[in-house]
Amino acid sequence: MEEADIRAYVAAAANAQGLALGADQLEPVVAVFTRTAAIAAPLLEFDLPEDTEPAPVFRP
């Protein structure tokens, strides 16, 4: 995502969730979201088999 896209997404998604951010609150959240997007990128590229399901608790 381009920086401008991230800023637009953060502002819109926050509004949609009732978390509207003031002008001085937006930038630090954009910075965190930018880092999060960078961390997510390789995971989204990974070739994860389609039949892999979430399963949080170990059952023996």
Partner 1 sequence: MNALAIAAAVREGRLRAVEAVGEALARINRHDGTVNAFVRHRGEQALREAAALDAARARGEPLPPLAGVPFAVKDNFDLRGEVTTAGSRVNLGRTPAAADALVVQRLRAAGAIPVGATNMDAYAYGFTTENSDFGATFNPRDLARTAGGSSGGSAAAVAAGMVPLALGTDTNGSVRVPAALCGVFGLKPTYGRLPRSGTFAFVHGLDHLGCFARGVADLTACYDAMQGGDASDPACDPRAAQPAGAQLALGVQGLRLARLGGYFEQWADDSGARGLRLAEKHLGELPVAQVPHTELARASAFLITAAEGGALHGRTVRAHYDRFEPHSRDRFLAGALTPAAWYLRAQRFRSWFRHQLEGLFEQFDVLLAPATPVTATLLGQERMDVNGIALPLRPSMGLLTQPISFAGLPVAVAPVAGPGQAPSGVQIIAAPWREDLCLRVAAHLENAAVASAPIAEGFA
- Does 48 bind partner 1 (CB under 8 A)? Our answer is yes
Residue 22 carries which DSSP code?
-
Could you give the CA distance from residue 30 to residue 26 in angstroms, rounded to a whole number?
A: 6
Please, what is the angle between helix 23-45 and helix 3-16, to 10°?
A: 110
One character per residue 5-34, x = contact with partner 1 (rule: CB under 8 A): ----xx--xx--xxx-x---x--xxxxxx-
- Does 59 bind partner 1 (CB under 8 A)? Our answer is yes
Could you give the CA distance from residue 19 to residue 12 in angstroms, rounded to a whole number?
A: 10
Q: Give the footprint of partner 1 on this chain (CB under 8 A).
A: 9-10, 13-14, 17-19, 21, 25, 28-33, 36, 39-40, 42-44, 46, 48-49, 52-60
